[in-house]
Amino acid sequence: GAVVSQHPSWVICKSGTSVKIECRSLDFQATTMFWYRQFPKQSLMLMATSNEGSKATYEQGVEKDKFLINHASLTLSTLTVTSAHPEDSSFYICSARDVAGGEYNEQFFGPGTRLTVL
């Protein structure tokens, strides 16, 4: 149980285009999903916290107009990187917390999406 999927696994796009990444909780409901970014050999950086049915909470320094987050249902959150540039190339990871709390109230992570902007 507690499986989180992400789609696509990897994407290559041209500078200036927009890319949408989906995060789904497959066998549980998640009122809260988290979006992280990780550059090589660096720690996970929380970008935003997504709550179902309400606006996402963005971390300081993350542009909300550039990284659009939609959490329309208890099993799906999407991150859209608008007008992507090479510096947006990174590993994007989502995680979800079970509504029921889970044994440790832990976050379950998706497999990640590797974005390369040319």
| List of residues contacting other proteins (CB under 8 A) | 41-46, 49, 91, 93, 95, 104-112, 114
* Residue 101 CB, nearest approach to other proteins (Å): 11
Spacing of C-alpha 70 from chain mean position: 10
The two beta strands, 10-13 and 67-73, are: unpaired
Q: How far is the CB of 14 from other proteins (least distance, A)?
A: 23
Which CB, 46 or 82, lies closer to other proteins?
A: 46
Residue keyed to tokens 């550039």: 66
Nearer to other proteins, 7 or 91 (CB): 91
Pick 8 or 111: Cβ nearer other proteins = 111
CA distance 43 to 56: 22
In the bound complex, what is the minimum distance in angstroms from residue 98's beta carbon to other proteins?
A: 12
The nearer residue to other proteins, 16 or 106, going by C-beta atoms, is: 106
Q: How far apart are CA 33 and CA 78, in angstroms?
A: 10
Are 97 and 30 within 8 A, CB to CB? yes
CA distances from 48 to 53, 69, 74 (A): 15, 8, 17
Q: How far is the CB of 16 from other proteins (least distance, A)?
A: 27
